[in-house]
Amino acid sequence: MAATALDSLPAPLRSLRLKTKQQELLLRVWVLALIYVLAFVVRLFSVLRYESMIHEFDPYFNYRTTLFLSEHGFSEFWNWFDSESWYPLSRVVGGTLFPGLMVTAALLHRLLRALSLAVHIREVCVLTAPFFAANTTLVAYAFGREIWDSGAGLVAAALIAVCPGYISRSVAGSYDNEGVAIFTLLLTIYLFVRAIRFAGFQHVQSGEHMAAMGVFFLLQLWGDHHLLEHDGAAKDVKC
C-alpha cells in the first residue's frame, strides 16, 4: 500500500500529529478563548465610540470611594465621614456600603502597579466590570461542564457572554456592584454544586470551603445576596 502524505513526512514532523482528544481539547480552548475575548470587547462600545469615563451617579460615587481607598488606605476609608454625600446630612461611608467592589478594584490597581504598569485607578474602575464579565464566561463553562459536558459548558459561556441583561450591568464605565457580584454569585453556586457532588470532608481546598469563601465575598459585594438563602439552601438541593 502506498504511503500516505503524513507517513512520507520526516519523523519530527510526524510526531506533531494530534490525536482526536488532543484536537478536541485544542478546539475547546480556542473557542473558549474567543468567547472570553468577545465578552470583554462587546462591553467596550462606549469606550471605543466616545471615551473612557464613569457612567451614572452610583458608579461615580463608587469611583470616589475607591480613589479615597487607594490614596488613604482601608482604615481611613472605613471611618471616612463624607460631607459631600447625602448633603446636608453627610454620610459615614464605611457602615453604609458594601466594600467588596472598592477593595477588589484597589487590589487590582495595586497588582498592576506591582507589575510596573502605570494605570490610573479610574481606568481600573472603568474596566473592572468587563474584566469580571469575561471571567464569568469561564465560570459558566465550568458550571455547564460540571452539570452536563464540555459542549454544554461552551454554550453556557457563549450565552452569558452576549446576554443583553448582563451586558447592561457590566459595560465599561458601569462601575457598580453587579459588575463583580454576578461573577461571584455564579462562582459560588458552581462551587456549591461541586461540593454537593463530591461527598465527604476533604482538605482546605475542598469545594465546601471554597463555596463558603465565595459566600463571604458575595456578602461584601451585593445587597441581593439573600438569593443564596433560598435558592442555594442545601435542603433545596437534596429535595
Q: What pLDDT, on the 0 to 100 scale, is given for residue 204? A: 45
pLDDT value at residue 217? 59
pLDDT of residue 11: 56
Contact 18, 26 (CB under 8 A): yes
- Asked if 43 contacts 129 with a C-beta cutoff of 8 angstroms, the reply is yes
C-alpha cell at 106: 484597589
Give the model's pLDDT for residue 129: 93
**Cell numbers for 127:** 474596566
CB 140 within 8 A of CB 157: yes
The string of pLDDT tens digits covering residues 87-104 is: 888 888 887 888 888 989
Intra-chain end-to-end CA distance of the chain, in Å: 62
Q: Which three cell numbers stand for residue 26?
A: 485544542
- Give the integer Cα–Cα distance in Å for 174 and 44: 11
Q: How far, in Å, CA of 211 to CA of 233, rounded?
A: 12
* 3-class DSSP string for 77-146: HHCCEECCCCCCCCEECCCCCCCHHHHHHHHHHHHHHHCCCCCCHHHHHHHHHHHHHHHHHHHHHHHHHH
Residue 46 C-alpha cell reads as 462606549
pLDDT of residue 234: 44
Res 125: pLDDT:
93
How do the domains of the chain map onto residue ranges? 22-174
Q: Quote the pLDDT of residue 92.
A: 86
Cis bond upstream, residue 164 (ω within 30): no
Helices 100-114 and 178-197 cross at an angle (nearest 10°) of 90
Name the one residue in this structure whose C-alpha cell is 475575548: 37
pLDDT at 1: 42
Longest alpha-carbon distance in the chain: 91
Give the helix/strand (H/E) hosting 234.
helix 234-238
In the prediction, which pLDDT does 30 show? 94
**Interval 19-35: pLDDT, tens:** 677 788 888 999 999 99
- 3-class SS of residue 1: coil
Q: Which residues of the chain have pLDDT under 70?
A: 1-19, 197-239
